[in-house]
Structure 1
Amino acid sequence: MVKKGSKEERDLVRILWDEKFAAMRAPASGGATKKPLPDVLAGNGEKYLAIEVKTTTKDRIYIDSPKIEGLCEFSSIFGAIPYVGIKFKYKKWRFLSPEDLFKTKNGNYRLDLDLALEKGLEINELLGKDKQVKF
């Protein structure tokens, strides 16, 4: 069975490679290990990114707090900048810092389309590029 979102993870890795960032999907993300691992790791020798990838056909998604805490823990140890990469259906990728996510009253996180459009970075902004990145 193919894990939901793996197509988007592969697509993001391809985009990052096209933009001269070495990138890979973490082979044990998603629960195969107790260690916190992001879905995608990328770097260009100057900037390192740890990305938790989410995809949805709706306008809102919820993320369990251990996922975000693990992303931040891994990033801190590794020296990467943590981001949640969200791909809403028919929309461009958006990337948000964990601190920009809405924390629910039960301690988890909510990310909706309006927040992604307001605070999320587009891929060219994430990578520090002046030009628009082609998909």
Structure 2
Amino acid sequence: MSKTGSKEERDLVKMLWDADCAAMRAPASGGATKKPLPDVIAGNGKIYLAIEVKSSSKDRIYIDSPKIEGLLEFSGTFGAQPYLGAKFNYMKWRFLKLEDLKKTKNGNYRVDRELVLEKGLELDEIIGKDRQMKF
């Protein structure tokens, strides 16, 4: 993980703590272990989250399918709701349900700004504090 990705993960963990969720970065995420681990794990006693974190200064993010498969496996075993946390420059955090991700021809995933704006949920929505109307 690049320094930028680690910074984004730390920022998200701080935001989750500020929103009354216990949260931590999974130190072995990103391939240091054979077990599937998300980048961030969080919960508040009512809801548990497993988040794969991606950030970009460009308009598009690509994610290898094993990352998403691992997130699904971990979430199923742990009992967490899986999300892709996307942070584009000059945008606030948005969280996508995995079924909203777009598959590429080679079986990986692509997320762009438009998808994040259309389908992305805000932090308060995924922790159960608020609901945003989607049209």
TM-score, normalising length from structure 2? Answer: 0.93
Residue in 2 that maps onto 1:105: 105
Instruction: Tell me how far 1:24 sits from its aligned partner.
Output: 0.1
| Deviation for aligned residue 1:105 | 1.1
Q: When the two structures are aligned, how many residues end up with a matched partner?
A: 132
Unaligned runs of 5+ in 2: none
1:2–1:120 distance in 2 versus 1, CA, 3 Å: closer
Secondary structure at the counterpart of residue 14 of structure 1 = helix
How do residues 24-43 of structure 1 correspond to structure 2 at under 5 angstroms? 24-43=24-43
Match for 2:56: what amino acid? Answer: T
> What does residue range 44-123 of structure 1 map to in structure 2 within 5 Å?
44-123=44-123
Q: CA deviation at 1:17?
A: 0.4
1:114 is aligned with what amino acid?
E
The whole-number CA distance in structure 1 between the counterparts of 2:4 and 2:36 is 19
Gaps of 5+ in 1: none
Could you list the runs of 4 or more consecutive aligned residues of structure 1 that deviate by over 2 angstroms after TM superposition?
Answer: 1-4
1:20 aligns with 20
Q: Percent of pairs identical after alignment?
A: 75
Partner amino acid for 2:49?
L
Measure, in 2, the Cα distance between the counterparts of 1:56 and 1:34. Answer: 26
Give the superposed CA RMSD: 1.6
Partner AA of 1:12 in structure 2: L
Give the drift of 1:91. Answer: 0.3
